[in-house]
Structure 1
Amino acid sequence: MVALQSAVLWGAGVDAVIPTESTQQAVTYPSLFLLVVVGALVPVVPTGALVSGAAVVALHHSTPALSLAAVFAVAAGAAFLGDLTLYWLGRRGVASKNGSRWLERLRSHAPPERLTQAQDKLREHGVAVLVLSRLIPAGRIPVMLACLLARMPTREFVRGNLPACFAWTVTYALIGILSGSLFPEPWQGVVAAVGLTVLVSVVPGLWRRMGHKRTQTG
C-alpha cells in the first residue's frame, strides 16, 4: 500500500520535478546575459562557448527560430554592454594622471607586440578593425587598448563595436547550430560546440608561438 501511494505521488510529481521549457528559458537568458557581460569585463570567461552552448539548447526547443533569435539578441546586447562599460572605465583611466586598475588590467592582457600590431591596424583601417578584433581570439583587448591610447571618442568606438558584437554573436551561434544539428541529444551538441570554440581559441595562439620559435631558431 505504501509502495502504491509512493508510485502515485511520484507519477503526479514528475511534471513538477522536470522544469518546463519556459522555466528553463527564464533561467537561461538572464544567466547568459550576466555571464557574457562579466566575460567582456573580465576576459577569462569563455563567452564564445557560452553562446554556442546556448544556441545548441535553443535549437532543441519547440520553437527553435524564436529561441535562437532570443539567444542572439541577449548575447549581442550583453557583449555590447560589457565592451562599452569596459571602454568607459578605460577612458577614465586614460584621463586620470594616476591611471586606473581597469586600464592596467587591459595592459596586462595586451602584450607589447600585439598592442603595436593593433595600433598599426587602427591607423590603417580605423574603427573597422574592431569587427575583426572580436573574431580573432585574444584580439579584442589589444584593439580596445589601442583605441583608448588613441583617445578615440566613445561615439566612434560604439560605431565600430556594434557590428563587431553582432558578427561575434553570429559566428559563435552558428558554431552552436552546426554542433547541435549533428547530434540528437542537446548535451552532445553542447560538448561538441564547447570543443570547437576551445579549438578555435587555442589553435591561433599555438600557431603564433610555433612561428615565433621557428623565427628564433632560423
Structure 2
Amino acid sequence: MDSILALAETLMASPWLLLLVLVLAVGDSLVPMVPAETVVLTAGTFAVTGSPSAALLVVAAWAGALLGDVLAHHVGRGAGPWARRLRERRIAGAVIGRTEAALRTRGAVIILGARFVPGARTAVNLTAGATGMPRRTFVLFSSLASLTWSLYYVGIGMLGGLAFAQNPLLGVALGIGLALALGGALELVRRIRARRAAAAGPRRAAPARTGRASPAGTSRVSRSDRAARGACPAPARGAT
C-alpha cells in the first residue's frame, strides 16, 4: 500500500502530469479502455494539497476530452458511406437510426449523457459525424459536455481527498465508486428508454384495426340492393 501511495505521489508531482491527462483524455474518446477518468480523479484527490493545480487539471482534462471528441466526429464523417451500408442491416440500421433521431431532437443531452458512459461517448461521437451533424454544432455541445465531465471528475476526486486527507487512496476509491454509480445510473436510464422506444415502435407501426361497418354504409348498401331487386324481379316459376 505504501509503495502504491509513493508511486501515486511521484506521478502527481511530475511536471508531465497535465500532458498525460490531456493525452489520456484524447485517447479515451477514441478507445474506451483508456483509463482517463481514473487518472483525472486521482489527480483531483491530490489536488486538495495544491499540487497539481485543480484549475490547470480541469483545463487539461477539458481540452483533451474536447479534442478527442472532435477527432471521433471527424472519423465518423469519413465513415459516412460505411454507415450507409450498415443502415441496410436490420439491427445496426435500427441503432443508427435511433441515435441519429435522438441527436437531431436533443443532441446536447445525448452528447452530455454519453460523455459519462465509456463506450457510449465513442459510439455517439462517431454516429454524429457519420450522420452529418454540423461540426460547429457538435463542437459546441461537446465543449459543454467535456467541461462538465472534467469538472465532475476533478470535483469528486477533491471531495474524496478532503474526506480522507490522511489516506488519499481511500479518497480515490470513494471517487471511483461515485463515478461508477453515475455511469451505471446513466446506462440504466438509457436502456430503459431504449426498451420503451422499441416497444412503442411496433404499436405505432401497426395498422389500426377496423371495427364494424358503419351503419350509414350498411344502410346505403342495403337500400341499393333492395332497389336493384325491385327493378329486376325474379322470374316467375315455370317460365321457360
Which TM bucket (shorter chain)? 0.5 to 0.7
Equivalent positions of 1:192-207 (< 5 A) are 192-205=174-187
Corresponding residue of 1:158: 139
Q: Distance in 2 between matches of 1:179 and 1:113?
A: 41
Write out per-residue CA displacement over residues 119-158 of structure 1, whole angstroms, 9 at most, x where no aligned residue.
2322212445423332456542343233223212222211
Q: For the aligned residues, what is the CA RMSD?
A: 3.6
Q: Runs of 5+ in structure 1 lacking a partner? A: 1-16, 105-109
**Does the 8 A contact of 2:72 with 2:126 survive in 1?**
no
Q: Give the alignment's TM-score, normalised by structure 2.
A: 0.62
Q: Distance in 1 between matches of 2:106 and 2:11?
A: 44
Which moves more between the two structures, 140-149 or 167-176?
140-149
Q: Distance in 2 between matches of 1:47 and 1:20?
A: 17
Q: Secondary structure at the match of 1:26?
A: coil
Please identify the structure whose Cα radius of gyration is greater: 2
Q: Runs of 5+ in structure 2 lacking a partner? A: 1-5, 86-90, 200-240
**1:180 partner amino acid:** G
Q: Distance in 2 between matches of 1:167 and 1:150?
A: 25
**2:180 partner amino acid:** V
Q: Distance in 2 between matches of 1:49 and 1:113?
A: 33
Of the three residues 28, 36, 44, the one matched with 2:33 is 44
Q: Distance in 1 between matches of 2:140 and 2:75?
A: 18
Q: Distance in 1 between matches of 2:117 and 2:12?
A: 35
Corresponding residue of 1:11: none
**Does the 8 A contact of 2:41 with 2:156 survive in 1?**
yes
**1:87 partner amino acid:** H
Residue 144 and residue 195 in structure 1: after superposition, are their counterparts in 2 closer, same or farther (change >3 A)?
same
Of the three residues 43, 47, 53, the one matched with 2:42 is 53
The number of aligned residues is 184
Report the structure, 1 or 2, having the larger helix content. Answer: 1
Q: Give the alignment's TM-score, normalised by structure 1.
A: 0.67
**Does the 8 A contact of 1:49 with 1:197 survive in 2?**
no
**1:158 partner amino acid:** V
